[in-house]
Chain A
């Protein structure tokens, strides 16, 4: 089954803890992206990666970190430095200029 998977679907964490969100794809796309969506808002870019072992900050990278050790995987770590981490996180890949999205992870900080 081809596509983009994100896990977990729902995630709860205590304030002050780091947490890692998974994004895996088997579409063989080089570029991958992480977005954040807050209620009633559009998506904002956190980080993106054009190729393995390379990634760039997006518009709201503070408090987040990523790695790209494999083409298929682009995990996002939400660190304790992120002041308002509760949000819906979406991962995407790109083919040409068209982006395709995973189902998302809803993170709630208690």
Chain B
């Protein structure tokens, strides 16, 4: 099956710093989502971005599908950005994906005041 690798595994920042999280995947995808898992475990949708670039406030994401990677940018980080960031991908290999997602291991982000 498709492999998903996220880097770095851990990231510690001071409030106000910028960061870039990376997601590499091993095969063609038709689905890529970024999630933020808050300290209570809730997974919050950040972006649905199988290709191209999107921005939402201080967050933006870029997926280069032909090179099999996606980047999540966080600018002017705040303590509330702390948590785990997951990349999840899906492919339509064989035409029977049923919307299945394969998750990376996540990047643990800690933002200090």
List residues of A whose CB falls within 8 A of some B CB. 31, 37, 40-45, 48, 50, 56, 58-59, 88, 90, 94, 97-101, 103-104, 106
* B102 CB, min distance to chain A CBs, angstroms: 8
The answer to whether A31 and B45 touch across the interface, beta carbons within 8 angstroms, is no
List residues of B whose CB falls within 8 A of some A CB. 1, 4, 30-31, 33, 35, 40-43, 45, 48, 50, 86, 88, 90, 98-101, 103-106
Known: A44-B103, A58-B100. A97 touches B90 (CB 8 A): yes
CA distance A11 to B101 in the complex (A): 26
A-B contact count (CB 8 A): 55
Partner of A42, one of B41, B45, B105: B105
Interface of A is mostly: strand
The answer to whether A97 and B31 touch across the interface, beta carbons within 8 angstroms, is yes
* B15 CB, min distance to chain A CBs, angstroms: 25
